[in-house]
Structure formats: C-alpha cells, structure tokens
Amino acid sequence: LEEAIRKIDRETRGRFKDTFDRVNSGVQALYPRLFGGGHAYLELTGEDLLDTGVTIMARPPGKRVSSISLLSGGEKAMTAVALVFAIFQLNPAPFCLLDEVDAPLDEANVGRLANMVREMSEKVQFLFVS
C-alpha cells in the first residue's frame, strides 16, 4: 500500500510540474501580447508540489513586478485572461464564457483582447457578457 501511495505521489508531482511549466510558458507568451509589453509568470508558494499553491506575478509595461492583488482592475482582468487563455491553449474546452471581462479595460486593451479572442476562436467558441 505504501509503495502504491509513493508511486501515485511521484506521478502526481510529475504531472503537476509538467502542467505548471506549460501553463507558465503560455502565460509568459500571452501576457506581453495582451498588454503590448510587460511580463508575467507563475510562481509556486511552497516546496512540496503536492501541497503548494500558485501565485501569478505580473509586471505591466512601465511598472514593477507585483502579485495580482496589487494591480488595477484592468490589469487584474488582463492578467487573469492571460492565465485562462494559457490553460485553454493547453487543454481547450469547447467554449469559454467571459462575463464582463471588458468592463475595466480601456480602448487599447479591449482591442488587444478582441484580437486574441479572434485568434483563439479557431479552437474555442467564446460567449461574452458585456
């Protein structure tokens, strides 16, 4: 029984790390496209992969790196979109419902979001509430 538990723990750690790395790469690629610059990445909050949390760190253009909780409403929305879209690139669902994601965005950010949605709509159907 203990050997089976160790095997499951090893597999779980491996799958989690692989998924984390792939989503992190997606966030790092999508964030600057959505913001017209800047940088974002995922960070583990602990050492043990079975018991850790994940934080998203972001640096909008011209600002310092900070956790998502310190960003403005529009910056939070676009950072969250980068994360959701990175997950959708990894494992697309048939549709994605976005509820008022554009509300805190200025015109430039709405345009970049629309371009990204247009590009991703080849694989995912989007439903918007605005």
User: How far is residue 57's CA from residue 39's CA, in Å, rounded to a whole number?
Assistant: 8
DSSP at 60: -
List beta partners, residue 56: 42
Domain that holds residue 27: 2-129
* Average predicted confidence (pLDDT) for the chain: 94
Q: pLDDT tens digit string along 36-71?
A: 999 999 999 999 998 999 999 999 999 999 998 999
**CA of 21: how far to CAs of 12, 109, 129, in Å?**
14, 27, 31
**pTM summary value:** 0.89
Nearest alpha carbon to residue 96 among 86, 104, 106, 111: 86
Strands (E), 33-89: 39-44, 54-59, 66-67
The β-bridge relationship of strands 66-67 and 95-99 is: unpaired
Q: Domains in the chain: how many in total?
A: 1
Which CATH number goes with the domain that contains 48?
A: 3.40.50.300
